[in-house]
């Protein structure tokens, strides 16, 4: 995809960070939630956040110009679709995902140093260090995963599967989608202890807790419970090196019954690694945030699965938005 060759186009690319930073600061200050109930002046908002009224007025005016707020007289308000997406009060809010993106700002600012070989892995993603960041991350994963989950389950066609292992299953987004699609299915959700408690709450609210076994642990350290006929590794392999993924595939292999199937949802890159575009950008996200993570080609994924003992490996679904699926079977 060409971006054009005019100076204006190139300079627009260079200054794209400016509106991004305005938006992220607004999210970090929770302005979309504060302004979704009643119009407030800059001074009134400043009182709520213990901020500077003059600086806040400049920020709020920019948000109006960007179409994210409405200004009437000297008051500001967050309304309509924007409030439905960005207010913490909204049931389908994507605010957690925006906050997660804001948390990446400092890491991405180190990209030049990392490419020059300075400090590539001294600030690796570790959401367990900060309870609020972990909650935002898991909330973000649910925000983007929930709309996609039904499509992934449909493409996977779980059929006669009755025992799902959801590895690193977060708060249960994909477990819920599979259980809804297959009434006779039970699931084991494996994730970190703090995340398991988030899953417990969500599954209880969904009325599905009695069909799920919640297992706390680290997939880097523990084995998985066995006797499953379907295993899902959703949006995980990009965080790992090739070697770490091989060990993960082997653990899943041991947890499956003969004939059991593994599904891997992630980016699957073209052989030259330049498509999908979002996958190339996400590879940078892994470069600045992990020791050995990245986005992988089908051949790399297929090789690891075969080395782990799987067969009948194929690309079940291609996708541009981390929605590709690779499947394989245990003999």
What is the reported pLDDT for 319?
94
Share of the chain above pLDDT 90, in %: 83
Distance CA 144, CA 296 (A): 21
What count of other Cβ atoms lies within 10 Å of the Cβ of residue 2? 5
Which residues make Cβ contacts (< 8 Å) with residue 48, sequence separation at least 6? 34, 40
* Residue 146: pLDDT band with limits 50, 70, 90: confident
Task: Name the class of domain 7-92.
Answer: mainly alpha
Task: Name the class of domain 127-329.
Answer: alpha beta
Q: Which of 276, 267, 277, 263 is nearest to 323 (CA)?
A: 267
Q: Which of 265, 186, 173 is nearest to 228 (CA)?
A: 186
Distance CA 193, CA 215 (A): 8
Distance CA 258, CA 297 (A): 27
What is the reported pLDDT for 51?
97
- Termini Cα distance of the chain: 42
Domain ranges in the chain are: 7-92, 127-329
Could you give the count of Cα atoms lying within 13 Å of 241 in the half-sphere of its Cβ? Answer: 7
Q: Do domains 7-92 and 127-329 have the same CATH topology?
A: no
4: pLDDT strictly greater than 80: no
Share of the chain above pLDDT 70, in %: 95
pLDDT tens sequence across 295-306: 999 999 999 999
Distance CA 331, CA 301 (A): 18
């Amino acid at each position: 995809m060409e971006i054009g060759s005019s100076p204006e186009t190139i300079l627009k690319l260079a200054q794209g960070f400016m509106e991004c930073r305005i938006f992220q600061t607004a999210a970090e200050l929770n302005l979309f939630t504060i302004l979704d109930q009643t119009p407030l002046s800059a001074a009134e908002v400043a009182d709520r956040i213990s901020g500077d009224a003059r600086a806040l007025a400049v920020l709020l005016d920019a948000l109006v110009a960007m179409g994210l707020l409405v200004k009437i007289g000297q008051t500001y308000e967050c309304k309509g679709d924007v409030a439905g997406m960005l207010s913490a009060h909204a049931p389908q809010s994507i605010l957690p995902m925006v906050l997660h993106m804001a948390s990446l700002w400092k890491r991405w600012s180190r990209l030049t140093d990392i490419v020059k070989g300075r400090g590539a892995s001294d600030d690796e993603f570790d959401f367990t260090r900060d309870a609020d960041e972990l909650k935002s991350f898991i909330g973000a994963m649910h925000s983007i995963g929930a709309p996609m989950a039904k499509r992934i389950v449909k493409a996977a066609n779980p059929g006669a599967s009755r025992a799902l292992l959801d590895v690193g299953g977060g708060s249960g987004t994909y477990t819920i989608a599979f259980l809804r699609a297959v009434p006779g299915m039970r699931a084991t959700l494996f994730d970190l202890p703090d995340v398991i408690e988030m899953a417990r709450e969500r599954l209880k609210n969904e009325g599905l807790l009695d069909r799920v076994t919640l297992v706390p642990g680290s997939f880097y350290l523990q084995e998985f419970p066995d006797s499953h006929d379907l295993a899902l590794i959703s949006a995980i392999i990009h965080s790992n090196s090739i070697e770490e993924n091989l060990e993960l595939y082997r653990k899943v292999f041991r947890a499956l019954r003969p004939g059991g199937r593994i599904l891997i949802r992630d980016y699957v890159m073209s052989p030259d690694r330049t498509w999908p575009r979002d996958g190339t950008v996400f590879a940078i996200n892994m470069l600045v945030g992990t020791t050995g993570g990245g986005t992988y080609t089908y051949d790399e994924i297929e090789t690891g699965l075969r080395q782990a003992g799987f067969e009948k490996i194929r690309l079940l679904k291609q996708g541009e938005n981390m929605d590709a699926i690779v499947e394989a079977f245990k003999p």
